[in-house]
Amino acid sequence: MTGPGFSYSDPLLEIRWLKSLRSHNTLSFENAPLYWQLGFAFESKLHKIAHMLDEMSIVAGSQYTLDDRWDQGFIVRRGSATLGIEFLGMKFCGAIPVEWTTRAFSNSTSEKALLDTFLATVTFREAVPQAQSAAWCLRQNDNVRKGQMHGLRRAVQTMQLTDLHTHLTGMGSKVFWVETVMEKVLPGLLRESAASPCRTRPNETDPLVARLNDFLRSDDPTVEFANLEKIVMEH
């Protein structure tokens, strides 16, 4: 994705930029491990990037554009130079983030020297957390205990929590699970799999045996037997 020019000084532009990111579906499930390594929620990360861009624009005196590898840390581009941002840590007051530290680096020699001088490490102080980041911070702790309940009360009082937060697999009524899934969807999937052609060999007329052979000869290394081999050995 080639992002638009960005100026943190314009809040409306920031909102439009956030919406454009969402509409382009820039967060994909395939990159989930990267987000896991970064350890930051989406909204919170964008907020940090906004601050970092603001600081860098002051130093470098120019606008930057988003790189299509922004979700890997290479988020800002100016000309042929690519700047990376690395999140180093956060400090909390209760459950509310009050400070985070980031570091910028570049692949450009001249720019690197400039940035290393001024932006080797940047610390931002969070005044008011955004809604999702506050909710995330509340959830990211293992034990939401007495001291952290203050942050929860504060977030609730200022309406900073999400509309709903539920466990996905706990959802669904008996109509969905029994009448839809068990009685319609699963039998339909079974009929589809029965109708699908099996990769049979000429001398293997039994489709199940042929399917076993396909699995045994498969090049897919991820397909394994959990307890079948043990049972075969016992017999």
Stretch in the footprint of other proteins (CB under 8 A) among 54-62, 104-112, 136-144, 149-157: 136-144
Q: Provide, rounded to whole angstroms, the least separation between the CB of residue 158 and other proteins.
A: 16
Instruction: Figure out which of the listed residues 58, 93, 156, 190 binds other proteins, where binding follows CB under 8 A.
Output: 190
Round to whole Å and give the CA distance between 64 and 90.
Answer: 25
The span of 5-13, 95-103, 105-113, 203-211 binding other proteins (CB under 8 A) equals 203-211
**Would you say 25 or 117 has its CB closer to other proteins?**
25
- Within residues 142-161, the interface with other proteins by CB under 8 A covers 142
**Which member of 89, 99, 113, 215 binds other proteins (CB under 8 A)?**
215
Query: Which residue is it, tokens 């020699």?
Result: 109
- Residue-wise over 175-210: b if at least 16 C-beta within 10 A, else e? eeeeeeeeeeeeeeeeeeeeeeeeeeeeebeeeeeb
Q: In 10 A of CB 29, how many CB atoms? A: 6
Binding of other proteins by 182 (CB under 8 A): yes
Q: List binders of other proteins among 74-133 (CB under 8 A).
A: 132
What distance lies between CA 230 and its chain's CA centroid?
38
> Contact between 197 and other proteins (CB under 8 A)?
no
